[in-house]
Amino acid sequence: MIYKGRFRTVRHKDHAVPTPLPRPLLGPTSFLDVRVWARPETPGPLLLVTSPRKTGSAVQRNRFRRRVRMAFLSGSEALLGTPWVVWVRPGRQAPALDTICFQDIESQLQLALHRLPALDTP
């Protein structure tokens, strides 16, 4: 993963969301919707963070994206060298984006990443 010379986040047209969508890794009461799929042609994990306009103002959405990116980078050592695309967006039961703290995002994202299936399973 390359970002500012070291890590890389997913950019527009840099990914293809599979159909049908993968199942979420967390339950319906979670405030993060985390979905993951394998993309063998990538050398490392890619991060896709979306936050629609209905979830808050531009400032709140950008802060949410930054917090998710930092939480992902803090716990992504286990994913290095794996071809996962990690898609994170606010869940249906999520409170307002400005009320979600970094520790909550980090804990839910780590829980979701620990539930990843093995790459050799069909």
How confident is residue 20, by pLDDT bands cut at 50, 70 and 90?
confident
- Asked if residue 71 is part of any domain, the answer here is yes
- Asked if residue 46 is part of any domain, the answer here is yes
- Asked if residue 50 is part of any domain, the answer here is yes
- Pairing relationship of beta strands 32-38 and 46-49 according to DSSP bridges: unpaired
CA–CA gap between residue 73 and residue 110 (Å, rounded):
11
Give the per-residue pLDDT at 50. 86
- Asked if residue 96 is part of any domain, the answer here is yes
- Asked if residue 119 is part of any domain, the answer here is no
Provide the domain count of the chain: 1
Place of tokens 């695309």: 85
Question: 82 and 1 in contact (C-beta within 8 Å)?
Answer: no
CA–CA gap between residue 109 and residue 72 (Å, rounded):
7
- Asked if residue 43 is part of any domain, the answer here is yes
Q: What is the mean pLDDT of the chain?
A: 80
Give the per-residue pLDDT at 28. 86
DSSP string of 59-101?
Answer: HHHHHHHHHHHHHHHHT-GGGTT--EEEEEEE-TT---GGG--
Number of H helices, E strands in the chain: 2, 3
Query: What are the tens digits of pLDDT across the range 62-104?
Result: 999 999 999 988 877 777 777 888 889 998 888 888 888 999 9
Residue-number span of the structural domain to which 55 is assigned: 32-114
- Asked if residue 39 is part of any domain, the answer here is yes
CA–CA gap between residue 43 and residue 80 (Å, rounded):
9
Question: What angle (nearest 5°) sits at the alpha carbon of residue 87, between those of residues 9 and 81?
Answer: 60
Query: What are the tens digits of pLDDT across the range 40-59?
Result: 777 778 888 888 888 889 99
CATH of the domain at 64: 3.30.230.10
- Asked if residue 121 is part of any domain, the answer here is no
